[in-house]
């Protein structure tokens, strides 16, 4: 279906089509790519062919694997082109399993299923995006956007090296800092798939939740309920519950924790019962803030028990998880495909992980990978999803206050803190034992702040009395030279070898343990 520019020039259009082409008024100068899930890149970029993101083994976990080899500018559900005069043409889907490309002199929409519903508009950037958000709100529903609870999360200071004692010490050291939730992240479970406390938590999970609640705060827990590692008992005992392709092979959900990951087929009735029981179990332990992660696994391409389209199946799974955990739980989605989760969760991570470094050159330049942990990646993608803010609470990940064990400059840390204020989602992982008195006071002030926020440009804001400019974070890394491309090809290949990744995992684990030992000594 061809839509001449004159049809959208004056007023926005809502229509149904399988593969619409909305003609552009002029050649585009910039394209807005919208990545599939929390960690996938969202950014305005130039129109050069997209370099293939490496290592290939990570693609199912970082981007929509269906479009991993697509070189044209493209993105999930929506796309937008900016022209020399500054105006923007946006084509955005109002139904799932849809994709937009810059092609054939316009924006080309594509639906994986039958006809899809679309929204197209032309005009000022803020206006077309906010009209699209309003359409999405009508289709998928909205949730409250009142301030999110203030969260301390264990991930970015302990990583998987958490245990009962070190967490207890940390909780005590947090004192009266005004956090509403203390959230235990990855590292408490037997295995990914086996959601029982491991030997580092001898008093079990209910005791841990009780310990948190006794400080007057809500207890939060991380789980990745839709994946399992190859080593998990779940994968061994229930191979029939896992998603397979047309040829009967297990669908890859990527690689992490030194292992291959597999996706549960959550359209299977037995899996659904298991998921609901898991949510009830976690609530029974006493946790009522749930960070459910690696959720993309619920929407990977594959042959499902129900034969439903993949994103619709995932949306039903989220509804089931939400129902089982109860309406009074706070539900944060992470690693989640964006559109299918709207209306079903209280908050959504909208960018990749922050890190105590600004940018990893290996990942950014050599591997053309903007999804790996790094503060610049996190700011870039989160900021490009700011337009989602009327729909639900958006989580740009944690801010840092510590200077020990952290190589971010004061300005870079400040940008992350300001990002949190703009998004109205305040969280940190800093170990209070490592904070100086002054850093502690800065953290306290941050948790209590309620500055007025005004957007003054695409990447600039007024935060209270201060002008904040995020431009340094949003530019794309420089394209690789031919020598760097060669290095990247080699690294990409090495980085897809399970054995090498297992060795790297060992090294990471050792670094996490050392870090924890230093913390114990400094306390």
Check if the beta carbon of residue 13 is closer than 8 Å to that of residue 7.
Answer: yes
Distances (CA, A) of 297 to 228, 336, 382, 469, 484: 10, 9, 21, 35, 32
Nearer to ligand 9PG, 289 or 461 (CB): 289
Q: How far apart are CA 200 and CA 235, in angstroms?
A: 23
- Smallest gap from Cβ 175 to ligand 9PG, in A, equals 24
For ligand 9PG, which is the closer residue by CB, 253 or 371?
371
DSSP-based three-state secondary structure for 4 = coil
Give CA–CA dist 264/241, Å, rounded.
Answer: 6
The phi, psi pair for 25, rounded to 5°, reads: -80, -20
The DSSP code for 11 is: S
Q: How far is the CB of 335 from ligand 9PG (least distance, A)?
A: 6
Q: How far is the CB of 257 from ligand 9PG (least distance, A)?
A: 8
Contact assessment for residue 362 and residue 346, using Cβ atoms and an 8 Å cutoff: no
Phi, psi for 379 (deg, rounded to 5) = -65, -45
Q: How many CA atoms lie within 13 A of 445 on its CB side?
A: 11
Q: Which is nearer to ligand 9PG, 116 or 297 (CB)?
A: 297
Helix or strand run (H / E) with residue 98: strand 98-103
Asked if residues 69 and 51 have their Cβ atoms less than 8 Å apart, the reply is no
Residues 6+ apart with CB under 8 A from 37: 63, 64, 295, 296, 335, 336, 337, 338
In the complex, which residues of this chain contact ligand 9PG (CB under 6 A)?
39, 58, 61-62, 155, 185-186, 222, 256, 293, 334-335, 353, 371-372
Angle, in degrees to the nearest 10, between helices 375-383 and 410-423: 30
CB of 64 to ligand 9PG, least distance (A): 14
Closest Cα partner for 378 from 446, 444, 425? 425
Q: How far apart are CA 296 and CA 192, in angstroms?
A: 15
**Minimum gap (Å) between residue 227 Cβ and ligand 9PG:** 11
Q: Which of 98, 157 has the CB closer to ligand 9PG?
A: 157
Rounded least distance, CB 192 to ligand 9PG, Å:
9
Cβ closer to ligand 9PG: 121 or 182? 182
Q: How far is CA 356 from the centre of its chain?
A: 18
List 186, 346, 353, 430, catalytic entry: 353
In the set 64, 191, 288, 293, the catalytic residue is 293
Q: What is the 3-state secondary structure (H, E, C) of 453-518?
A: EEECCCCEEEECCEEEECHHHHCCCCCCCHHHHHHHHHHHHHCCCHHHHHHHHHHHHHHHHHHHHH
Contact 209, 285 (CB under 8 A): yes
Least Cβ distance, residue 358 to ligand 9PG (angstroms): 17
Can 293 be counted among the known catalytic residues? yes
Q: Which residue's beta carbon is nearest to the bound ligand 9PG?
A: 186
Q: What's the min distance (Å) between Cβ of 404 and ligand 9PG?
A: 21
186 is catalytic: no
C-beta closer to ligand 9PG: residue 157 or 372 = 372
Whose Cβ is closer to ligand 9PG: residue 3's or residue 300's?
A: 300
Residue (136 or 184) nearer to ligand 9PG, CB: 184
Q: Which residue, 58 or 400, is less far from ligand 9PG as judged by CB?
A: 58
Give the separation between CA 172 and CA 275, rounded to whole angstroms: 33
Least Å from the CB of residue 131 to ligand 9PG: 30
Token representation of residue 288:
């009522």
Choose among 354, 352, 355: nearest CA to 336. 352
Catalytic residues: 293, 353
């Amino acid at each position: 279906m061809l839509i001449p520019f004159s049809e959208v020039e004056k007023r926005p259009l809502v229509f149904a089509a399988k593969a619409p082409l909305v003609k552009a008024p002029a050649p585009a100068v910039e394209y807005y790519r919208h990545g599939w899930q929390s960690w996938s890149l969202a950014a305005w970029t130039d129109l050069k062919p997209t370099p293939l993101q490496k290592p290939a083994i990570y693609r199912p976990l970082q981007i929509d694997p269906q479009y991993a080899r697509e070189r044209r500018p493209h993105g999930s559900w929506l796309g937008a082109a900016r022209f020399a005069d500054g105006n923007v043409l946006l084509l955005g889907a109002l139904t799932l399993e849809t994709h937009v490309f810059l092609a054939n002199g316009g924006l080309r929409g594509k639906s994986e299923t039958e006809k899809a519903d679309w929204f197209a508009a032309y005009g000022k950037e803020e206006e077309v995006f906010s009209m699209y958000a309003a359409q999405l709100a009508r289709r998928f529903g909205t949730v409250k956007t009142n301030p999110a609870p203030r969260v301390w999360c264990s991930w970015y200071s302990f990583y998987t090296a958490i245990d009962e004692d070190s967490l207890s010490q940390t909780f005590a050291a947090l004192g009266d800092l005004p956090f509403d939730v203390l959230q235990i992240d990855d590292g408490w479970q037997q295995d990914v798939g086996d959601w029982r406390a491991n030997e580092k938590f001898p008093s079990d999970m209910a005791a841990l939740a009780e310990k948190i609640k006794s400080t007057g705060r809500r207890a939060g827990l991380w789980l990745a309920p839709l994946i399992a590692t190859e080593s998990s008992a779940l994968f061994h005992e229930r191979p029939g519950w896992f998603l397979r392709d047309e040829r009967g092979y297990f669908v890859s959900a990527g690689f992490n924790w030194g292992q291959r990951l597999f996706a549960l087929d959550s359209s299977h009735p037995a899996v659904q019962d298991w998921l609901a029981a898991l949510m009830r179990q976690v609530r029974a332990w006493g946790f009522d803030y749930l960070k459910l992660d690696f959720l993309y696994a619920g929407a990977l391409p594959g042959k499902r028990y129900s034969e439903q389209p993949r994103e619709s199946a995932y949306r039903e799974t989220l509804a089931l998880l939400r129902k089982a955990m109860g309406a009074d739980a706070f539900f944060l989605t992470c690693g989640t495909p964006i559109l299918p989760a709207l209306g079903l969760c209280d908050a959504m991570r909208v960018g990749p992980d922050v890190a105590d470094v600004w940018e990893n050159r290996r990942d950014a330049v050599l591997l053309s990978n903007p999804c790996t942990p790094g503060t610049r990646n996190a700011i870039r993608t989160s900021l490009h999803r700011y337009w989602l803010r009327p729909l639900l609470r958006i989580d740009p990940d944690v801010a840092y206050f510590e200077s020990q064990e952290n190589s971010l400059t004061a300005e870079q840390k400040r940008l992350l803190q300001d990002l949190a204020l703009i998004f109205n989602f305040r969280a940190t992982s800093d170990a209070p034992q490592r904070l100086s008195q002054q850093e502690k006071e800065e953290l306290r002030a941050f948790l209590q702040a309620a500055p007025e926020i005004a957007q003054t440009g695409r990447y600039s804001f007024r935060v209270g009395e201060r002008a904040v400019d995020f431009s340094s974070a949003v530019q794309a890394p420089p394209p690789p030279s031919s020598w760097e491309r060669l290095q990247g090809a080699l690294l990409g290949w090495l980085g897809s070898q399970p054995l090498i990744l297992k060795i790297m995992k060992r090294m990471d684990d050792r670094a996490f343990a050392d870090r924890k030992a230093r913390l114990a000594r400094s306390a």
